[in-house]
Amino acid sequence: SYELTQPPSVSVSPGQTASITCSGDKLGEKYACWYQQKPGQSPVLVMYQDTKRPSGIPERFSGSNSGNTATLTISGTQAMDEADYYCQAWDRNTYVKFGGGTKLTVL
Amino acid sequence: QVQLQESGPGLVKPSQTLSLTCTVSGGSISSGGYYWTWIRQHPGKGLEWIGYIYYSGSTYYNVSLKSRVTISVDTSKNHFSLELNSMTAADTAVYYCARGPMDRKAFEIWGQGTMVSVSS
């Protein structure tokens, strides 16, 4: 079955750039999206179709997807960005797959 | 603005069937072009897709749960439902319903989630 792999944790200093990766076989040939989840809250979509931001998501969030890796980049990271981030893609265009999640710490 | 709200029992006994409902407000579940989806999250763990249904009634399920899952739509009540049978402690999780446009291949609207515990 198709698997998506994320690093368990990423740390970044406030104001710096955070990059969260998601790896999967030929992931660049699929669309990837990203969700942000803060403690006790439902996930929020922050990126879809690799590079598109939903309405209301700050411009400091950007995405890319090529080869076997999709990346969510947060520029000028703020304390409010501290959260768990999950990538998601589709296996055979039918089955939904989530990555294991990455805990972003802003310190 | 479309909102989703899960409802159902917070506690289920082992071997019983879990039944959850996701009520859609602010829009019609009959409008085409969306995945109506169930996703769960075990305590302290990541997200696990359970399955989805199209407005047409077609369903797709996680292979690991397929033998125990049924997702259905009731357009008259503007809600969709999840049934998961033969529940065990391993099914203890927060269950979310979500909606996503098919052309975006992502889930834009999520319910608040409902915690389901399996215990005798």
Q: Kindly report, residue by residue over A4-57, the tens digit of the pLDDT.
A: 999 999 999 999 999 999 999 999 999 999 999 999 999 999 999 999 999 999
Half-sphere exposure for A106 (CA within 13 Å, toward CB): 16
Instruction: Give A100 to chain B, closest Cα distance, Å.
Output: 6
pLDDT of amino acid B31: 83
For A34, the 3-state DSSP assignment is strand
The structure tokens listed for A68 are: 């076997």
Residue B50 exposure: Cα atoms within 13 Å on the Cβ side: 26
Token pair belonging to A47: 């990126």
Strand runs (DSSP E) across chain B, as ranges? 3-7, 11-12, 18-25, 34-41, 47-53, 59-61, 69-74, 79-84, 93-101, 109-110, 114-118
The answer, for A48 touching chain B at a CB cutoff of 8 Å, is yes
- The residue of chain B with its CA nearest to that of A103 is B46
Helix/strand/coil (H/E/C) assignment for every residue in A48-107: ECCCECCCCCCCCEEEEEECCEEEEEECCCCHHHCEEEEEEEEECCCEEEECCCEEEEEC
Tokens 């979500």 sit on residue? B98
Question: How many other C-beta atoms are found inside a 10 Å radius of the C-beta of residue B54?
Answer: 15
B26 — phi, psi (to 5°)? Answer: 85, 5
Of the partner residues B47, B60, B108, the one whose CB lies closest to the CB of residue A94: B60
Nearest to A31 among B47, B105, B113 (CB): B105
| Nearest CB to A42 within list B37, B48, B112 | B112
Cβ contact, residue pair B62, A95, below 8 Å: yes
Residue A85 sits at the chain B interface (C-beta within 8 Å): no
Q: Tokens in use for A54?
A: 């939903």
Predicted local distance difference test score (pLDDT) of residue B79:
96
Per-residue pLDDT 10s for chain B (120 aa) are 999 999 999 999 999 999 999 999 999 998 889 999 999 999 999 999 999 998 778 999 999 999 999 999 999 999 999 999 999 999 999 999 999 998 999 999 999 999 999 999
Q: What is the pLDDT of residue A96?
A: 96
Residue A42 with chain B: CB contacts under 8 Å: 96, 110-113
